[in-house]
């Protein structure tokens, strides 16, 4: 089986960890009998700095025929973050209706989590609404530069969007431990969050075997720190999920090991897979970037493509390497290089 993969290494350490992940994924392909055909695009903040755009005008059309999109990291000195987000990531997520962001949070054996208070396993998933919510384009600013300056940003919650991400979360819970927690703030946000709560309660009737709970976002953030082992599936709005998933990654040791998937659940369009970390310009060229987040994102990509056995083998190779005291990069307290970690995982497969 051959898969066409649109590859966007991006900026900074993205250009270091994407080739590392490709080596691991290609090893899996040789073992499990599939081939990944990479088509590389130079779209990035660095491109923006030189040409004035993150990607060409027909960029979406160029990606459309791919089976999946494999993204590194974007970010470049002098280019504001909102430029990269709205010039590349959000157009891809919205054009291809990648309305679910799936972010696994797992504490691997061998990693000493900074806040660890329990010997119970920490293994949950943050399911984030990915196309609307607080990240809308509706709003603006007036009277710029004066004492009367005003900025307005509108949140957008549609029944289709909220139902879609919540149904995904409920379905995921049926494949896991059968528990879903909803992140809300309906005591202070009086329109969108009560609507979110209502839809969550409506869908619960369709999943009588799934246990449900809801927490205000501030209380849930505290639960992430105090009892992350109690969580299974967490469903949240765009902004809340963005924050909670990064918090979760920090709780289990490093944002460098956190993968994510931007999913079009209906599979009408390609989905996109990327690590949670940024381009880390401060360590570019030092060859110490942790490739595990990118490799884990590749495992999510293989799972989405149907290569489930290979995907699970990659995740277990990561777990075994860390549990056995294998090489680890400085963010995990080690001294290994990106290449040494990559070689260890290729060997483990």
User: What share of the chain in percent tops pLDDT 70?
Assistant: 99
Is residue 106 in some structural domain?
no
Copy the structure tokens of residue 148: 């009367």
Tell me the pLDDT of the chain averaged across its residues.
94
Same domain, 123 and 244: yes
Q: Is 105 part of a structural domain of the chain? A: no
C-alpha angle 293-249-77 in degrees, rounded to nearest 5: 65
Query: What Rg value do the Cα atoms of the chain yield, rounded?
Result: 20
Token pair for 346: 């290729």
CA 197 – CA 214 distance, rounded (Å): 8
- pLDDT tens-digit profile of 18-51? 999 999 999 999 999 999 999 999 999 989 998 9
| 59 and 127 part of one domain | no
Tokens 């079009």 correspond to what residue? 264
Residues 73 and 191 in one domain: no
Q: pLDDT for 279-291, tens place per residue?
A: 999 999 999 999 9
Residue 223 lies in a domain: yes
Q: What is the pLDDT of residue 118?
A: 65
Q: 310 — phi, psi (to 5°)?
A: -65, -40
Specify the CATH number for the domain of residue 329. Answer: 3.40.718.10
Quote the CA–CA distance of 346 and 298 in Å, as a whole number.
13
Is 184 strand, coil or helix? strand
240 and 140 share one domain:
yes
Q: What pLDDT, on the 0 to 100 scale, is given for residue 200? A: 98
Whole-prediction pTM:
0.93
**Cβ atoms within 10 Å of 336's Cβ, excluding its own:** 19
Whether residue 104 lies inside any domain: the answer is: no
Domain that residue 343 falls in: 1-99+258-349
pLDDT of res. 116: 63
């Amino acid at each position: 089986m051959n898969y066409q993969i649109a590859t966007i290494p991006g900026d900074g350490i993205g250009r270091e960890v994407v080739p590392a992940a490709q080596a691991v994924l290609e090893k899996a392909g040789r073992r499990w009998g599939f081939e990944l055909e990479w088509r590389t695009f130079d779209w990035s903040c660095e491109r923006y700095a030189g040409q004035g755009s993150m990607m060409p005008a027909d960029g979406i059309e160029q990606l459309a025929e791919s089976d999946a999109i494999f993204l590194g990291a974007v970010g470049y000195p002098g280019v504001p973050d909102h430029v990269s987000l709205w010039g590349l990531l959000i157009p891809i997520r919205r054009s291809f209706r990648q309305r679910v962001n799936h972010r696994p949070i797992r504490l691997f054996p061998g990693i000493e989590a900074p806040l660890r208070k329990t010997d119970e396993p920490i293994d949950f998933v943050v399911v984030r609404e990915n196309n609307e919510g607080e990240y809308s384009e509706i709003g603006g600013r007036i009277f710029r530069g004066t004492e009367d300056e005003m900025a307005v940003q509108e949140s957008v919650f549609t029944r289709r969007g909220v139902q879609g991400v919540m149904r995904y979360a409920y379905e995921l819970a049926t494949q896991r431990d059968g528990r879903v927690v909803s992140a809300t703030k309906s005591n202070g946000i009086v329109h969108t969050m009560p609507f979110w709560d209502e839809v969550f309660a409506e869908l619960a009737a369709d999943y009588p075997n799934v246990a449900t709970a809801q927490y205000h976002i501030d209380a849930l953030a505290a639960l992430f720190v105090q009892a992350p082992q109690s969580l299974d599936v967490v469903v949240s709005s765009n902004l809340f999920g963005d924050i909670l998933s990064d918090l979760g990654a920090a709780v289990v040791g490093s944002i460098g090991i956190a993968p994510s998937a931007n999913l079009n659940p209906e599979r009408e369009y390609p989905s996109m897979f990327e690590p949670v970390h940024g381009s880390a310009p401060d360590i570019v060229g030092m060859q110490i970037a942790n490739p595990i987040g990118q490799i884990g994102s590749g495992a999510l990509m293989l799972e989405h493509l149907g290569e489930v056995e290979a995907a699970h083998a990659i995740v277990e190779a990561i777990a075994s390497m860390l549990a056995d005291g294998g090489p680890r990069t400085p963010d995990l307290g080690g001294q290994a290089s990106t290449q040494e970690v990559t070689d260890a995982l290729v060997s483990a497969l």
